[in-house]
Structure 1
Amino acid sequence: MRNRIRKGFTLVEILIVVVILGILAAIVVPQFTSATQDAQVGNIRAQLKSLQNQVELFKARSTDGQYPDLVGAGWDVMIDPNGDGDITDGYIKEAPRNPFNNSSTVAAAAAAGNGWHYTRATGELGACYFDESTSELTPGTP
């Protein structure tokens, strides 16, 4: 009889490797999920700061000293403030999208499907699904 040289792994060795990989995946995957949400929060914060600055600049340059009517006119009033088709005099290049729901819609109050909520009297601009006081995304709560 010949002695066979065993090559390969036993079932037990393969199972041990699979279990170790499963444990590592259980540790690593939630960290990536958290990193994605942190990136969305950072993106919203940066957009809000930039947009708020542009809204204030609009008011400062406005002849009537009013904040822009984002709810009525949408972002177009910030892209082409003179309505002459020349966007080089605008405050923003394009309508910003809320990174959480990819919506650029502006409404007077936070509601499902809207990207932003805005109060013209005060110039206060906020992102739907984002709580600025805690800097947390609030899924299901615009």
Structure 2
Amino acid sequence: MKFFKNKKGFTLIELVVVIAILGILAGIAIPRFMDATAAARGSKIVADLRTIDSATMMYQAKEGKLPAAVAAAANNTSADLVPNYLAAFPAPPTSAASIVNNAGKTITIKKDYGVAYALTDAGRATYGGKTVDELLASTANLE
């Protein structure tokens, strides 16, 4: 029995306590990570709309006219803007997103809200039929 007296290690209780602590930390960290990814997707939507609007303004300044309108279902392309003003027409995120509106409230955008970005006859980029200004002025979740 001398063999077991020199053996060192963790007891079962110590291992259970460590596993419980790791479980609690994971329970706190995972929801925060999910919120951060939804916020990143929301920031991408806002940035994409502003980028398309900027490309439209550059096109209008150079060509003297607005680019042709692009429907949301047009496979995210615009022959007038790509490749001279945009390297590629951006595609929106495919999962739910969240943005902070002008009043500081977080607005959730459901995953099926907008299929693609569109370009209106007035030269404004839209997502789900709303321009970036309208998205940021929204007061309710977008479904």
TM-score (norm. length: structure 1): 0.65
1:75 aligns with 2:78: yes
Aligned pair partner of 1:101 in 80, 94, 113? 94
| Count of residues in Structure 1 that have an aligned counterpart in Structure 2 | 119
Higher relative contact order, structure no. (Cα contacts within 8 Å, ≥ 6 residues apart): 2
Match of 2:99 in 1: none
Change (3 A) 1:9 1:17: same
Cα gap change, 1:119/1:48 in structure 2, threshold over 3 Å: closer, same or farther? same
Deviations 1:6-37 (A, max 9, x none): 42222111111110000011111111111111
Aligned Cα root-mean-square deviation (Å): 3.3
Amino acid at match of 1:4: F
Residues 28 and 112 from structure 1, CA distance in 2 versus in 1: closer, same or farther, beyond 3 angstroms?
A: closer
Unaligned runs of 5+ in 2: 96-111
Gaps of 5+ in 1: 80-86, 103-110
Aligned partner of residue 14 in structure 1, secondary structure: helix
Question: Is 1:118–1:124's contact at 8 Å kept on the other side of the alignment?
Answer: yes
Output aligned runs, 1:122-137, within 5 Å. Answer: 122-128=122-128, 131-134=135-138
The one-letter amino acid paired with 2:78 is W
Question: Which residue in the other structure is 2:30 paired with?
Answer: 29
- The alpha-carbon deviation at position 70 of structure 1 amounts to 2.1
Q: Deviations over 1:25-72 (max 9, x none)?
A: 111111111111121122222221121011122233334x34422237
The alpha carbon displacement at 1:113 in A equals 6.7
**Alpha carbons of structure 1 residues 126 and 135: separation in structure 2 relative to 1, 3 Å:** farther
Q: Are positions 1:11 and 2:4 aligned together?
A: no
Measured against aligned partners, the alpha-carbon deviations of 1:81-100 in whole angstroms (never above 9, x if no partner) come to xxxxxx5xx111112111x1
> Residues 78 and 3 (structure 1 numbering): CA distance in 2 closer, same or farther, change over 3 Å?
closer
